[in-house]
Amino acid sequence: MNIDSKNSKGPWRIFGNHSLQTMKIGPAVLSHRVFLAPMAGITDYPFRCIARSCGAGPVVSEMIASQALIRNSARSVRMVSTAEKEFPLAVQISGSDPFVMTEAALINESLGAAIIDINMGCPQRKIVKTGAGANLMRDEVLAGRVIESIVKAVDIPVTVKIRLGWDHKSINAVRIAKIAQDSGASLVTVHGRTRSQMFSGKADWSAIRKVKEAVSIPVIANGDIKSPKDAGLCLEVSKADGIMIGRGALGRPWLFDQILHFLETGKDKRPPGLEEQYAIITRHLEHIVDFYGPPLGLRLFRKHLAWHTKGLHGSSLFRKSLNNAKLLNEVRDLLECFYGALAAKQVTPGRLPLLRAMPDSDRA
């Protein structure tokens, strides 16, 4: 599934031809090739709704522990309960036992998942110590058994997300990708770091290119794509079939739209103004409160708002006020006052004056 770029004038033109925007994986037709990455505790249903509204194409659920899902954990079931209305949703599962992971994949399929994504890249200690996540890359035979077992059991496509390897002495992304392809996987996403790097250092996009050159299934590049120019450069260096955005979109879900615009035109698109940012944030608030209920929803919303307001003058004191707000209407009023005052100044985001109520020393 190579992307034909014969009419390209640069890496950004890779999506310029409308017929090239979609990607078909089994019965799932993906609207374009700029993916939202799975992020535990972040890419829940409300966040996915916002990301889609800001241009994200394929979206992947939070990582769901297979063992918890087959135990019918209420939290795990809720994480995938919206799959049918989100079609095509890729649901990511983690674990290391082929039988347990296969059972979890079947449950997700029955709940409406369009794609099963196997997590072989999570670097977190609590995950790898169970043999799951990036630890699966250390046992290539087991990794193959997990993929093959799930592929044989479900009628929907199976994809795999990996890293470059456990550490720089054990780079095996190419071998794992070949195993995934031979085991029936439809796509592989590669984060350009090792597990030992966690999220430090720079993602190695050239190493992702080696994976792309080794397999015929689509390869998606992930890691350090924080701007439209990063996206274009990553595609040029990695030769990947698409890109996956994670941390770069935190507090900036409109990054997807900016990246698509750049890839299609080669030109930068300004971020939305304060009024539009306020509309996006309040829409996210309503989604999250509607999904979780006010007490939990408001607690979860605070971390998103911290990302959204980072760099805005006066945001530190604003967040402190927000932490003391217990009711939904209080949060709404605080948001309206904060963004209303900033928007009234009619200045460029990122160079905002302090609110009059904020002390001069309070600079986030």
Residue 94 pairs with which residues in a beta bridge?
A: 65
CA distance 220 to 239: 9
Nearest alpha carbon to residue 122 among 150, 89, 91, 163: 163
CA distance 65 to 77: 11
Q: What is the DSSP letter of 5?
A: -
Q: From the DSSP assignment, how many helices (H) and strands (E) are in the chain?
A: 14, 11
- In angstroms, the Cα distances linking 42 to 36, 46, 113, 139 are 11, 9, 19, 29
Residue with tokens 């093959």: 148
CB neighbour list of residue 172: distance below 8 Å, 6 or more residues apart? 137, 140, 165, 166
Active site residue 122: yes
Contact 115, 88 (CB under 8 A): yes
Provide the 10 A C-beta neighbour count for residue 337: 14
Provide the 10 A C-beta neighbour count for residue 356: 7
Residue 150 identity (one-letter amino acid) = I
CB neighbour list of residue 299: distance below 8 Å, 6 or more residues apart? none
Is the bond preceding 271 in cis, omega lying within 30 degrees of 0? no
Of 49, 54, 122, 234, the active-site residue reads: 122
Known catalytic residues?
122
